[in-house]
């Protein structure tokens, strides 16, 4: 199964759904993101939302760690495994941060979803609203959202976040990080041999 679209009530445009382990997932992500970035964008921000203590909620911090310092002139990453942006730190950190003019912000979070899209990466045009699945009230974040659907939207599965398959989360994170890197590399015209992610 490849890239597909599903309708959404949040945005007038459909969400793009990509199987998390598709070998072309990073290219699908790049294609989608590139189409969403407005002309004249001078800087891209990635907001990795989640916890470093709950495996099912660690997608955002994993992506942040993989992308950190990859394109220092054009990409700023907030939220990683060392300094996660979770329900307690997200609002204070973002409130005190100043985003540059002509910037594009990508929010990343793990979410619950319908059975048909579990284990998928979903990209939507418009902000991501973190914390809904766990009943937290947090502000919308970003110009677009990348969500990793790690579990079915079933109240009985909420506690399963603690023991979500870490390979699933890491594979999603790697695909997302590579897709964002490909986007930045193409948009800001970096050489094709510029590394996509920095593994330390």
Band (pLDDT 50/70/90 cuts) for residue 60 is very high
pLDDT band at 161 (very low <50, low <70, confident <90, very high): confident
Q: Using CB atoms within 10 Å of the CB of residue 11, give its burial: 0 to 12 exposed, 13 to 18 middle, 19+ buried.
A: middle
Please check the confidence at residue 10 and state whether its pLDDT lies above 70: no
Confidence class for position 136, pLDDT limits 50, 70, 90: confident
Tell me which fold the domain 4-187 belongs to.
Rossmann fold (3.40.50)
Count the residues in the chain: 200
| Residue 190, number of CB atoms within 10 A of its CB | 16
User: Residue ranges of the domains in the chain?
Assistant: 4-187
Considering only 10-14, 72-76, 91-95, 120-124, which range has the smallest mean pLDDT? 10-14
Structure tokens at 51: 């916890």
How is the beta sheet containing 75-78 ordered, strand by strand? Answer: 4-6, 15-19, 120-125, 144-152, 103-113, 43-48, 75-78
Q: For 92-115, what is the mean pLDDT? A: 93
Model pTM score: 0.91
Residue in the block written with tokens 């709950």: 54
Residue 194: pLDDT over 60: yes
CA 107/CA 123 separation, integer angstroms:
10
Structure tokens belonging to residue 132: 């809904």
């Amino acid at each position: 199964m490849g890239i597909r679209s599903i309708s959404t009530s949040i945005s007038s445009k459909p969400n793009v759904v990509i199987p998390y382990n598709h070998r072309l997932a990073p290219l699908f992500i790049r294609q989608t993101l590139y189409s969403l970035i407005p002309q004249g964008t001078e800087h891209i921000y990635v907001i990795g939302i989640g916890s470093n203590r709950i495996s099912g909620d660690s997608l955002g911090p994993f992506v942040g760690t993989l992308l950190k310092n990859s394109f220092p002139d054009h990409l700023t990453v907030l939220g990683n495994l060392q300094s996660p942006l979770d329900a307690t730190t997200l609002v204070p950190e973002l409130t005190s941060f100043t985003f540059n003019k002509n910037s594009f912000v990508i929010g990343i979070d793990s979410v619950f979803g319908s059975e048909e899209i579990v284990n998928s990466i979903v990209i939507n045009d418009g902000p991501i609203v973190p914390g809904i699945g766990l009943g937290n009230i947090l502000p919308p974040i970003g110009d677009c959202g990348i969500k990793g659907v790690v579990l079915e939207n079933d109240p009985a599965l909420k506690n399963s976040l603690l023991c979500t398959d870490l390979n699933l989360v890491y594979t999603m994170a790697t695909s997302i990080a590579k897709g964002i890197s490909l986007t930045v590399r193409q948009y800001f015209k970096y050489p094709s041999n510029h590394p996509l992610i920095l593994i330390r």
